[in-house]
Structure 1
C-alpha cells in the first residue's frame, strides 16, 4: 500500500516544481536612483522582497508598517544587503483610518515626491467577525479601505492591480484556527517563496513597458483578464462610491479632486 502515499506525494512535488517554473519573473534592469518608493506591509514576505529589490535599484524606500520595531530590523537588513542607506521606516496601521490619514499627511509634508506606491499590506482574519474603531470589518479595513484612502490622499496616478499567486508568507500562520492551518499547509506544499511572489509587484513598479499602462490586472508579470464581477463598470462605480462613504473621504483627499 506504499503507493497510496507515494503517488500523492510525487504529484504534489511535481505540481510545486511546475508552478514555480511557470511563475513570472521581472527582467527589467531599470535603475531607480532619485526615485522614492513606498511599500506598505514591508516587514515580511512579499513586501520585504519588493522593498529590497527597489532599494537595490537605488530608490529611497519607505517601509510603511504597523510594527515599527520589526520593520526597523528589516530596514537594517535591506540596507546591509543592498548597500543603499536611504531606507526608512514609517508607522501606519492600514486598518485604522486615522492612522492612515496621519501617515499620509506626514508623507506629503516630509517627502518632496513619491514615485512608486506598492499597496501590499494585508491580513487573513480569523473566523469571528471583528470590527475596527471605525466600525469597519477588520479584513476589509486592512486590505481595502486603508489602501483606498492612502492612494487617494497621496497620488493622481497610474494604477494597476495584481495577483501574486500562492506564496509562502506569514499571513496564514498569523490567522490561526483551522483555516489558517490548512492555508499554511497549502502554501507549504504548493507555493512560491516570497522572492518569487514579489516579482509581479516589482514588475509593475519598475518595468519600462508599464509606464503608460493603467487600470489593468496582472498575473505572473503578464496582463491578465480579471473576473467579470471585477470588470463590471456598474459594480466598480458602486464599490468606489461605497468606499468613499465608508472612509468619509473629503473632497480634497480624492484623486478625482481638482483645485
Structure 2
C-alpha cells in the first residue's frame, strides 16, 4: 500500500511539474482593436491557425486564410463565420511547398487588398520529402515559403500605420542547428532517413524562424512594421500528420494527457497581435505571452544575416 501511495505521489508530482513548466498555460489579455484591419494567416484551416483566425474574426478583423486544401478551409471558414457572425473570412489558395504558389498568392493579395495589417506565418509540418523546387520539405514549408511570402508582402505591410508579422516557431529550435554547407549542397537542413533526423531538421527549421524574425526586425528598423516569433506550447494538432503509425501510437496517449488545446496554443500568437506597446520588442521571441531568451544559436547575427542572404538566392529575390 505504501509503495502504491509513493508511486501515486511521484506521478502526481510529475504531472503538476510538467503542467507548470513544459505544458504551462497562458492567456492573452491584449485588446488592440481589429475592426477594419486585414489579417493574413497561413494554415488557418485547422489547429492553432484556426483558433487564431476565429479569435481575430470575433474581434471584427477581415481574415484571409491561406492553405492548400480548399475543402477543409471552406469548412473552417463556415464554422468561424457561424460562431463569430463575421462574414469577412475568406480562403485563398496557398501551397507553401511551391514558391510559384507563394508568389501567386502574394500577387493576388497585393492587387486585391487595400491594406494588410497583420501577417501570421503559422503553417508548419513534420515530415520527409521535397518541395516543388527541390528543397527539403520542412525547410521549404516551415521557413522558405514564409520567408518568401513575407518578403513579397512587405510593401503592403509598410503602408499600414502599425503592422505586425508573427511567425510561429517552437521551443524545439533549441535542438536545431544550421550547417550552411549542407544547406547549399542539399537544399535541406540535414540528411538521412531516420525519424530522429526528420525531427532534427524540424528543430532546425524552427531555428530558422527565429533567425529570420531577428534579421527581419533589423532590416525594418525605422518602419511601421514590427515582428515577433513565438513558441505556442506543446499542442494537440495535426502537425505530425506525416509521422509513422508506430510513432503516433506513442504520441497520441501522451498528447491527450498533457498537450495544450489549439485554443490554448493560440494565446501567445494572439498576444503578439493584440498587445499594446510591443513595437519596442520587435524581433523578440515569445513563450507563454511573455518575451523569453531563445537559444544562443538563435541570437547569432551572422547566422541570421547568412540565412537571409541564402534564402533570397533560393527565392530569386536578388
| Shorter-chain TM band | 0.7 to 0.9
Which residue of structure 2 lines up, in the alignment, with residue 133 of structure 1? Answer: 132
Which residue of structure 2 lines up, in the alignment, with residue 28 of structure 1? Answer: 30
Asked if structure 1 preserves the Cα contact closer than 8 Å seen for 2:18 and 2:24, the reply is: no
Indicate the RMSD between aligned Cα atoms, in angstroms. Answer: 2.2
How many residue pairs get aligned? The number is 247
CA deviation after TM superposition for structure 1 residue 219, in Å: 0.5
Which residue of structure 2 lines up, in the alignment, with residue 142 of structure 1? Answer: 141
Which residue of structure 1 lines up, in the alignment, with residue 65 of structure 2? Answer: 63
Tell me the SS of whatever aligns to 1:236. Answer: helix
Q: Which runs of 5+ in 1 are unaligned?
A: 251-259
CA distance in 2, matches of 1:7, 1:182: 24
CA deviation after TM superposition for structure 1 residue 213, in Å: 3.0
CA deviation after TM superposition for structure 1 residue 11, in Å: 4.4
CA distance in 2, matches of 1:6, 1:75: 44
Tell me the SS of whatever aligns to 1:218. Answer: strand
CA distance in 2, matches of 1:68, 1:19: 37
Asked if structure 1 preserves the Cα contact closer than 8 Å seen for 2:23 and 2:258, the reply is: no
CA distance in 1, matches of 2:30, 2:22: 19
Asked if structure 1 preserves the Cα contact closer than 8 Å seen for 2:268 and 2:287, the reply is: yes
Q: TM-score, normalised by structure 1?
A: 0.87
Which residue of structure 1 lines up, in the alignment, with residue 86 of structure 2? Answer: 84
Which residue of structure 2 lines up, in the alignment, with residue 206 of structure 1? Answer: 274
Tell me the SS of whatever aligns to 1:80. Answer: helix
Please, which of 83, 107, 111 is the counterpart of residue 105 of structure 1?
107
Q: TM-score, normalised by structure 2?
A: 0.72
Alignment of 1:168-247 (within 5 A): 168-247=236-315
Asked if structure 2 preserves the Cα contact closer than 8 Å seen for 1:172 and 1:181, the reply is: no
Which residue of structure 2 lines up, in the alignment, with residue 257 of structure 1? Answer: none
Which residue of structure 1 lines up, in the alignment, with residue 219 of structure 2? Answer: none
CA deviation after TM superposition for structure 1 residue 31, in Å: 2.2
Which residue of structure 1 lines up, in the alignment, with residue 122 of structure 2? Answer: 120
Check 1:209–1:184 CA distance in 2 against 1; reply closer, same or farther (3 A cut). farther
Please, which of 189, 210, 230 is the counterpart of residue 162 of structure 1?
230
CA deviation after TM superposition for structure 1 residue 182, in Å: 3.4
Check 1:175–1:5 CA distance in 2 against 1; reply closer, same or farther (3 A cut). farther
- 1:100-125 per-position Cα deviation (integer Å, ceiling 9, x unaligned): 00000001011011000000000111
